[in-house]
Structure 1
Amino acid sequence: MPVDQVANTGQAEETVQAMWEALSARDWTALKTFLSADCIYLDVPVGPAAAARGPEDIVKRLKIGLEPLAAYRNFPGLMVSNGADVMYEHSEQWHWATGESALLKFVTVHLVEGGEITLWKDYWDMGALADHAPPTWLADFAGADMSWVFDATGLV
C-alpha cells in the first residue's frame, strides 16, 4: 500500500472514531463538524427514500431515535479501512425512561473524503429494536419532525 494511502487510512479512521465519540456523548454540535455539507446518512433498513443529507438534517434524524433515550452507549468494535472507506462493527445499548432497553448490533460504512464523512450507512436489525422498544416508539417516530427526509435513491 502506498505511503499516502496508509496516511489517508489513518486519517479516515481517526475521523470516524472522533465522530462516534461525539455521537456517543450525544454532542450534536461536535458531531456536525465531522460531516461534509452534502453528507448522506442512510439507515439501510429504512431505505434510501428516507435518507438525510447535510449535518443539520442528519442530526435531526439521529435525534428522533437517540435524544429521548434515558441512556445511550456505543460499544466500539472492529474498524477496518482501505483509505477512504471505513467499516465499523459496533453495538449500541439504548435505555428508555420507561425501563425498556435494547442492544443493537451495527455494521456502519463511512466514506471519508478530505477529512470529512461524505457518506454514512448503518446496517442493523430493526426487529431487534422493535422487539425491545416501548410500545409507543414507532408512533413517536411517526409524529416527529420529518423535514430531514431526503430521497437518496440512485445516490447510494
Structure 2
Amino acid sequence: MSENNKALALKMWRALAEHDWDTLKSCLHPDIHYRDMPSDDPGAHGPDNVVRRLSIAWDHIERQEQITHHIAADGDVVFLDHTEKWIFKTGETAEHTFATMHEIRNGLIYRWSDYWDMNKFISQFPGWFLEVMASHTAADFGGES
C-alpha cells in the first residue's frame, strides 16, 4: 500500500508542475483539505477549491520545477521533502524547500499539508504578485472568511 500511496503523491505533484488540473483532481479525495500550515488561512476544501486556490499562483507562473529530495510512506501517510522553483511569466523566479504531508483515504489524497518558511519564500515574490494574492480571501476556496 505504501508504494501505491507514494506513486499517487508523485503523480499529483507531476500534474501540478504540468498545470494538468484534471489529473491533479483525479488524485484528490472529494473531501480533500489542502492547507499551507505556516499561514492562518484555513486552506481549501474539495478538489475544485484546491485547483481554484492553486490557480491564483499558477495563472502567473510560466512553469514550476519540482525536485523531490526524499519521499517516505508509512501506511496511509506520505511525506515529501522537495524544492519548488517558480518561474513567473514576467521572468522573476522564487525557489524554496517544502515538507509536505499527504494523508491517503480510499486511494486518494484526503489531507495535504505544506510546511515551509513563509517569510523566506514570500520575500522572493514580485510585488505585483503579492497584490494578486492579497486580493483573495479564504471564502474564495470554501474556507472561513
| 1:50 shift after superposition | 2.6
Q: TM-score, normalised on structure 1? A: 0.85
CA distance in 2, matches of 1:98, 1:19: 26
Residue 46 of structure 1 aligns with an amino acid whose one-letter code is S
CA contact (8 A) 1:98 1:134 kept: no
| Root-mean-square deviation (Å) | 1.5
Q: Aligned ranges for residues 44-59 of structure 1 at < 5 Å?
A: 44-47=37-40, 49-59=41-51
- Provide the identity percentage: 30
| 1:34 shift after superposition | 0.5
Structure (1 or 2) with the greater strand fraction: 2
Structure 2 segments unaligned to the other structure (5+ residues): none
Out of 114, 120, 140, which is 1:122 matched to?
114
Question: If you compute each CA radius of gyration, which structure gives the higher value, 1 or 2?
Answer: 1
- Count of matched residue positions in the alignment of Structure 1 and Structure 2: 143
Structure 1 segments unaligned to the other structure (5+ residues): 1-7, 152-156
| 1:20 shift after superposition | 0.9
Residue 19 of structure 2 corresponds to which residue in structure 1? 26
Residue 3 of structure 1 corresponds to which residue in structure 2? none
CA distance in 1, matches of 2:72, 2:127: 36
CA distance in 1, matches of 2:50, 2:24: 10
Q: Which runs of 4+ in 1 moved over 3 A?
A: none
Residue 83 of structure 2 corresponds to which residue in structure 1? 91
